[in-house]
Amino acid sequence: MTALLTVENLDARHGLLHAVRGVGFTVRAGETLALVGANGAGKTTLLRAIAGAHPPAGGRVLFHGRDLDAMPAHKRVALGIALVPEGRKLFGQLTVEENLLLGRAAGRAGAWDVDTVIAAFPNLAKRRHARAGTLSGGEAQATAIGRALMTNPELLLLDEVSLGLSPLAVDRVYASLATTMSGGTTIVLVEQDLTRALRVADRVVCMLEGRVVLSGRAAELTRDEITDAYFGLRGKVAA
């Protein structure tokens, strides 16, 4: 099967900091790829570079085989790439529904609209007309994911899904995400909770200090292998 997303030898910097170093992997249509690693491993910078929100210093990002070099973020959204950023970045004075409708600006046709998003994230039903600034962490995360889904993406990039959420809120978000995953949306998921990452992912890529130090099918990697790679105790790259 042809890759939906291909990352080739990607480099990205923050000034003198070499945040992403020669990273490469592919994601096939319908897969969920978990991107794991400690704080500072380069995961967020990598997602932002794929989405067009951070300029790479080298390498390539291809979507359906098309090189996205120099393509701005809003045009990548129109192609079918949506990023849910760390920190959610909602407009606090707008309502949940108004935040969701911002995703319609991409102009992509598809099954996702306000009603289908709220059906997938039922905790938003009673908060539909509430200002985003009054939401709980779980409600805000659901709104951020819903806004991305409103673009009807082929590829959904999720950064730190469970960050700052209570265990109950994380359970609710992941339960709702199951609808998206079962619907065939391709997902690249940044997650520090290894248990949850392994539970939902088809494949895992572990980063350390900007590099890929472990990759493989989730079902074929042990938790010890991933933990060792996570903390830099050993490295392994599996096809």
Report pLDDT for 22.
97
Report pLDDT for 1.
56
Question: Given strand 32-36, what is the order of strands in its sheet?
Answer: 81-84, 155-159, 186-190, 32-36, 203-208, 211-217
**Mean of pLDDT values over 217-230:** 92
**Mean of pLDDT values over 185-191:** 94
Reply yes or no on whether the pLDDT at 232 is more than 90. no
Write out pLDDT tens, residues 13-52.
Answer: 999 999 999 999 999 999 999 999 999 999 999 999 999 9
Alpha carbons 134 and 196: distance in angstroms, whole number: 27
Task: Give me the residue spans of the domains in the chain.
Answer: 3-230
Reply yes or no on whether the pLDDT at 235 is more than 50. no
pTM, 2 dp: 0.92
Instruction: Report the percentage of the chain scoring pLDDT > 70.
Output: 97
Report pLDDT for 167.
87
pLDDT grade for 234, boundaries at 50, 70 and 90: low
Q: What is the mean pLDDT of the chain?
A: 92
Reply yes or no on whether the pLDDT at 126 is more than 70. yes
Fold of the domain built from segment(s) 3-230: Rossmann fold (3.40.50)
Write out pLDDT tens, residues 131-163.
Answer: 999 999 999 999 999 999 999 999 999 998 888
